[in-house]
């Protein structure tokens, strides 16, 4: 109980560090989620809807990457963004931008893979209706995305959940810099390493509450749509 | 209504874009608010300091770096890892300055030309901690190597960092002095940072080697007793190494130099020596006397300004 009081003070008190951490976390995860969904959902829909050579192989790659361990995504982004890497000149390592890069590697396969499986299951029916009302091939994608929009809310929520919960990529690409790239998960690791398990746990509960809030917002969006 | 959904999505998008755009403001806002008289922001205001967990997680750098930032207008971005990884960030160009404690690795780094000089400037002590009932009898040992020998002979559980950090290398050196190659069920190689290893040692009531500052700052310290300290074999020296602009032309050498000059100034030394005295009742880090300071870094080798500053340093260590 005392820990929660302490947490509440940190959250509302004059020292804005924890508020900064929550803000960075939301900024990071929302950016990663929006970009992952923007790339992953149309990509996944195309994989589910169209027939083209190499499609099955791409689907398999996508499935494999859905289980990509966050530390591996972090390491890949590290190689890419380090000064000694190909994109080193942009000086992105240890910034929120670097964390977004790594989280997109995690988010895009999830968004694409889930979209592909949702669409594949109803692709035949949609295609028939679309041809029935005389839609052209290129407009099929737009129509399908519109038909399946409700599933996309849960896909976006799952992608967000992955970004919010991972720690490996955030640690490697962000470096857990106080006031700059420290997010909820890396702060929990830090508190755990300093032996303050209670504070780590309290931060964890706060993280879950934030997650709950975002998911409730998503559910509200779906209800309002109906 | 689909309008609501569209609204929700565009809100999300707007928030994330707004958040991206605001990035540049964050850092400057802080420095401006915390200083009363205007500080001239240096041309390249960000110093990337790669350091070990012992000086960051123990609270030393978070306590003193804001003073430096307020005085000079620099922003120090601190990333901490074991010394092995911390030094590697210098090689990959992802740091401007290293603050590490692994002499052999530092000298190798120097020999390869990554840094123009190694500047040892402070030290503290490693301590051997373990269960309060001390089954191996470490407390009665006269040296660290004797203590480790007792642990090995009684096959008491010992948790090693096992992560190529400065502490891990120091531990291996003591085993070497003791003439023992540690192996067996009792020797656990954790592969984790100091804090995590202290958690494991507290949980399993095992022995481990830790720097004193991390131990004293650790919340679980009541479960482990400090059994051996202040032994010559346990001295732990920290050095500063700026990254050579010849290796990485865009490294912030001016920033690194400014940090080195400030931390080895009378003001910086005073803050280091006083750190922890109020909270833990004893000094945690000890600065080194002026004469042991090597002339700091410039890309040319001529000694300059810092030497006269060095002579005014407090000699008491």
**Same structural domain, B102 and B188:** no
Residue A57 buriedness (CB in 10 A; 0-12 / 13-18 / 19+): exposed
Crossing angle for the helix pair A149-165 and A184-193, nearest 10 degrees? 30
Separation of alpha carbons A50 and A28, rounded Å = 33
Q: Which tops the pLDDT comparison, B70 or B14?
A: B70
Question: Which residues sit opposite B187 in a β-bridge?
Answer: B158
pLDDT band at B304 (very low <50, low <70, confident <90, very high): very low
Tell me if B273 is assigned to some domain: yes
Whether residue B159 is predicted with pLDDT greater than 70 in this model: the reply is yes
Q: In sequence order, which ranges of B57-193 are alpha helices (DSSP H)? A: 60-72, 83-91, 103-111, 144-153, 166-178
A221 vs A210, residue with greater confidence: A210
Q: Facing residues of B79 across strands?
A: B50
Is the residue at B97 inside a domain? Answer: yes
Give A152-188 pLDDT, tens digit per residue.
988 999 999 999 999 999 999 998 988 899 999 999 9
Per CB-CB distance under 8 Å, the chain A contacts of B195 are 192-195
Contact check, Cβ <8 Å, B77/A94: yes
Of the partner residues A83, A149, A179, the one whose CB lies closest to the CB of residue B92: A83
Please judge whether A224 and B221 are an interchain contact, meaning their C-beta atoms are less than 8 angstroms apart.
no
Q: CA-CA distance, B251 to B274, in Å (whole number)?
A: 31
User: Is residue A30 predicted with pLDDT exceeding 60?
Assistant: yes
Into how many domains does chain B fold?
Answer: 2
Q: Which of B210, B234, B258 is the last residue of a domain?
A: B234
**Mutation target vs A (from B93, B129, B247; most A CBs, 10 A cutoff):** B93
Question: Other CB atoms closer than 10 Å to residue B132's CB: what's the count?
Answer: 13
Last residue of a domain, one of B234, B250, B273: B234
**Which residues from chain B sit within 8 angstroms of residue A34, using beta carbons?**
12-13, 16
Shortest distance, CA B29 to any CA of chain A (angstroms):
11
Residue A7's pLDDT band, with cuts at 50, 70 and 90, is confident
Point out the residue among A31, A178, A194 whose CB comes nearest to the CB of B218: A194
* Best A6, A16, A94, A100 residue to mutate vs chain B (most B CBs within 10 Å): A94
Alpha-carbon distance of B219 to B263, in angstroms, equals 28
Computed on alpha carbons and rounded to an integer, the radius of gyration of chain B in Å comes to: 22
B269 belongs to a structural domain: yes
The beta-carbon neighbor of A34 closest among B16, B77, B78 is B16
Task: Specify whether B131 is located in the same domain as B215.
Answer: yes
> For A110-125, what is each residue's pLDDT tens digit?
999 999 999 888 877 8
User: Does the pLDDT value for residue B181 go beyond 60?
Assistant: yes
ipTM of the complex: 0.77
Q: Looking at residue B22, what is its pLDDT?
A: 42
The pTM of the full predicted model, rounded to 2 decimals, is 0.79
Task: Please list the residues that pair with B169 across neighbouring strands.
Answer: none
Q: How confident is the model at residue B7 (pLDDT cuts 50, 70, 90)?
A: low
How many domains does chain A contain in total?
Answer: 1
Element (H, E) at B239: strand B235-242
Q: What is the Cα–Cα distance from B167 to B58, expressed in whole angstroms?
A: 14
Residues A179, B26: C-beta atoms closer than 8 Å: yes
Percent of residues, chain B, with pLDDT higher than 70: 79
Q: Is residue B16 part of a domain?
A: no
Contact A175 B30 (CB under 8 A): no
Q: Is A224 a domain residue? A: no
> Would residue A194 count as lying in a domain?
no
B120 and B45 both lie in a single domain: yes
Band of residue B29 on the pLDDT scale cut at 50, 70, 90: very low
Residues B133 and B216 in one domain: yes
Asked if residue B129 and residue B227 are part of one domain, the reply reads yes
Residue written as tokens 């009742």? B281
Q: Pairing mode, if any, of strands B46-52 and B97-100?
A: parallel
Residues B189 and B169 in one domain: yes
Across the range B145-166, mean pLDDT stands at: 93
**In this model, does residue B297 exceed pLDDT 70?**
no
Looking at per-residue pLDDT, the higher value among A151 and B30 belongs to A151
A221, with CB counted inside 10 A (0-12, 13-18, 19+), is buried
CATH code of the domain covering residue A39: 1.10.3720.10
Position B303 confidence tier, pLDDT thresholds 50, 70, 90: very low
Q: Is A176 helix (H, G, I), strand (E, B) or coil?
A: coil
B33 occurs within a structural domain: no
pLDDT at A201: 93
**Does residue B185 share a domain with residue B130?**
yes
Residue B278 belongs to domain spanning:
40-124+237-311
Are B79 and A176 an interchain contact pair (Cβ–Cβ within 8 Å)? Answer: yes
| Residues of B in Cβ contact (< 8 Å) with A225 | 1-2, 4-5
Q: Do A94 and B219 touch (CB under 8 A)?
A: no
Domain presence at residue B224: yes
B168 and B215 housed in the same domain: yes
- φ, ψ at A129 (rounded to 5°): -60, -45
CA distance to partner chain B, nearest, from residue A171 (Å): 10
pLDDT at site B10: 58
Domain span at A87? 22-182
Of A153, A180, A196, nearest to B219 by CB-CB distance is A196
Residue entry with tokens 């006031």: A179
In a shared domain, residues B242 and B113: yes
Q: Cβ-count burial of B143 within 10 angstroms (0-12 exposed, 13-18 middle, 19+ buried)?
A: middle
Q: Is A138 exposed, middle or buried (0-12, 13-18, 19+ CB in 10 A)?
A: exposed
A212 CB neighbour count, 10 Å cutoff: 10
Length of chain B: 317
CB-CB neighbors (< 8 A) of B4 in chain A: 221, 224-225
Q: How many residues does this entry show for chain A?
A: 226
Find chain B residues with C-beta within 8 A of A180's C-beta.
Answer: 26-27, 77
Distant-in-sequence, close-in-space partners of A132: CB < 8 Å, separation ≥ 6: none
CB pairs under 8 A between A and B: 95
Considering only CB atoms, which chain B residues are within 8 Å of A195?
A: 195, 198-199, 202, 218-221
């Amino acid at each position: 109980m005392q820990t929660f009081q302490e947490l509440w003070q940190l959250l509302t008190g004059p020292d804005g560090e924890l508020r900064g951490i929550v803000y960075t976390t939301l900024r990071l995860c929302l950016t990663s989620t929006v970009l992952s969904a923007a790339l992953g959902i149309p990509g996944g829909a195309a994989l589910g809807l169209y027939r083209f050579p190499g499609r099955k192989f791409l689907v398999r790659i996508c499935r494999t990457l859905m289980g990509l361990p966050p530390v591996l995504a972090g390491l890949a982004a590290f190689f890419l963004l380090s000064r000694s890497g190909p994109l080193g000149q942009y000086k992105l390592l240890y910034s929120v931008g670097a964390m977004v890069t790594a989280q997109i590697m995690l988010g895009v396969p999830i968004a694409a893979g889930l979209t592909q499986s949702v669409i594949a299951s109803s692709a035949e029916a949609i295609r028939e209706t679309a041809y029935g009302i005389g839609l052209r091939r290129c407009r099929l994608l737009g129509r399908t995305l519109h038909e399946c929009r409700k599933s996309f809310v849960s896909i976006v929520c799952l992608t967000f959940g992955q970004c919010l919960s991972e720690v490996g990529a955030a640690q490697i690409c962000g470096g857990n810099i106080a006031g700059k790239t420290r997010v909820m998960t890396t702060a929990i690791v830090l508190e755990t390493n300093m032996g303050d398990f209670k504070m780590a746990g309290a931060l964890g509960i706060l993280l879950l509450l934030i997650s709950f809030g975002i998911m409730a917002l998503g559910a509200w969006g779906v209800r309002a749509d109906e | 209504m689909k309008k609501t959904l569209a609204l929700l999505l565009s809100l999300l998008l707007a928030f994330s874009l707004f958040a991206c755009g605001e990035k540049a403001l964050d850092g400057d806002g802080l420095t401006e608010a915390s200083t009363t008289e205007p500080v001239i922001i240096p041309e390249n205001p960000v110093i990337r300091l790669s350091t070990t967990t012992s000086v960051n997680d123990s609270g030393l750098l978070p306590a003193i770096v804001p003073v430096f930032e307020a005085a000079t207008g620099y922003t120090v971005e601190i990333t901490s890892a074991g010394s092995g990884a911390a030094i590697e960030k210098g090689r990959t160009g992802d740091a401007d300055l290293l603050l590490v404690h692994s002499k052999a690795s530092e000298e190798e780094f120097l020999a390869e030309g990554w840094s123009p000089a190694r500047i040892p400037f402070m030290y503290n002590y490693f301590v051997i901690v373990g269960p309060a009932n001390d089954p191996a009898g470490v407390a009665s040992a006269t040296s660290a190597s004797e203590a480790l020998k007792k642990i090995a002979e009684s096959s008491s559980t010992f948790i090693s960092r096992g992560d190529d950090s400065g502490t891990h290398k120091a531990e291996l050196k003591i085993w070497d002095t003791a003439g023992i190659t540690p192996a067996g069920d009792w020797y656990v190689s954790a592969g984790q940072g100091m804090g995590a290893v202290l958690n494991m040692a507290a949980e399993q009531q095992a022995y481990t080697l830790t720097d004193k500052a991390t131990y004293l700052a650790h919340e679980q310290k009541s479960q482990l007793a400090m059994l051996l300290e202040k032994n010559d074999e346990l001295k732990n020296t920290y050095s500063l190494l700026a990254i050579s602009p010849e290796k990485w032309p865009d490294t912030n050498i001016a920033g690194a130099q400014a940090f080195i000059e400030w931390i080895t100034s009378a003001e910086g030394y005073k803050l280091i020596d006083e750190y922890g005295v109020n909270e833990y009742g004893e000094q945690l880090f000890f600065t080194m006397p002026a004469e042991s300071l090597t002339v700091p870094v410039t890309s040319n080798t001529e000694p300059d300004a810092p030497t006269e500053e060095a002579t005014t340093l407090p000699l008491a260590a």
